[in-house]
Amino acid sequence: MKSIGFIGTGVMGASMVRNLLKSGFSVSVYNRSKEKALPLLEDGAKVCDSIKECVQNQDIIITIIGFPKDVEDVYFSADGVLAHAKQGAYVVDMTTTSPKLSKKIYDMAKEKNIHALDAPVSGGDIGAKNASLAIMVGGDKEAFEACMPAFEAMGKNIVHEGPAGCGQHVKMANQIVVAGNTIGICEAVAYTKAMGIDPNLMIKTICSGAAASWQVDNNGPKMVCDDYAPGFFIKHFVKDMKIALDEAKDAGISLGILEDVYNLYFNMENEGMGELGTQAIIKKYEK
């Protein structure tokens, strides 16, 4: 399978497309804002004017877009993916979205003899550029194995988590850890500043100890120098945490720390900061 239709060329999607092209795949792309996709022409992608043009006759169709409503529109509309994908194609939603929605896509795809996988990712813009994303996959094992060459072009830690929706559940677990970790490094930076210690020195010190993490290495330095450029948008993190909280509520469990972090970010989004990177949470600790 060498032909791919790719929908969503944002902060992460564009880099993922480039890595697929480098691995020898033929890639057609579609983005609602066409101008965001045009730079990919220079890399060898075909830029399409519609979802139909992007997905018809493709072996694999990959989507990585914004919110569950966007996913529903892209998959279920009359002009959407399931209306125009060929029988036997593989549709892979790499958006972080509702596990229930992933199961719905799987069921409706199966009715059309289309194989569906949910495959959310972790690693941000850096992981997308370096083809080192963690990819958490839900769906049939046979479909997972068939799509492995495409996954390997984009990521390093690629795991089949179980049936449809399980990829999304593991991504929720990932985001729960990220929420606590982000606040931890944020408070560490605020603490060292208050104590008159260089926070860059603190980060250099703890990055190889028990507190080591991706957040320390990547977002810690950005917090120190007030770099709020989005590797991952606050508005998308708010969406992810809300999904996790809803799933937890349905399961009858309470996630108190996640709820506290969600409220902080929710307030930032309401204050007009949804387009900033998640490291901008340090603003909440500024005097």
pLDDT in tens, 230-279: 988 999 999 999 999 999 999 999 999 999 999 999 999 999 999 999 99
In the block, residue with structure tokens 């850890």: 177
What digits encode the pLDDT tens for the residues 212-224?
A: 999 999 999 999 9
pTM: 0.93
Name the pLDDT band for 64 (thresholds 50, 70, 90): very high
Mean pLDDT value of segment 95-101: 96
Query: What was the pLDDT predicted at 287?
Result: 64
Sign of the Cα pseudo-torsion (65, 60, 101, 128, in order): negative
Cα 83 to Cα 157: distance, rounded to the nearest angstrom: 32
What digits encode the pLDDT tens for the residues 132-185?
A: 999 999 999 999 999 999 999 999 999 999 999 999 999 999 999 999 999 999
Residue pair 79/50 in contact (Cβ under 8 Å)? The answer is: yes
Residue pair 122/171 in contact (Cβ under 8 Å)? The answer is: yes
Phi (first) and psi of residue 79, to 5 degrees: -100, 15
Share of residues in the chain with pLDDT > 90 (%): 95
Residue pair 18/72 in contact (Cβ under 8 Å)? The answer is: no
Q: Is 6 exposed, middle or buried (0-12, 13-18, 19+ CB in 10 A)?
A: buried
Cα 63 to Cα 109: distance, rounded to the nearest angstrom: 14
Question: What is the CATH number assigned to the segment(s) 3-163?
Answer: 3.40.50.720
Nearest to 282 by CA among 200, 153, 188: 188
Q: What are the distances in angstroms from CA 243 to CA 96, 167, 212? A: 9, 14, 27
Q: Is 86 a catalytic residue?
A: no
Q: Out of 103, 171, 193, 239, which one is annotated catalytic?
A: 171
Q: What are the distances in angstroms from CA 105 to CA 3, 84, 110? A: 21, 14, 8
Share of residues in the chain with pLDDT > 70 (%): 100
Question: Degrees (nearest 5) of the Cα angle 40, 41, 47?
Answer: 90
CA-based end-to-end distance of the chain? 55
Domain 169-285 has CATH 3.40.50.300: no
What residues does each domain of the chain span? 3-163, 169-285
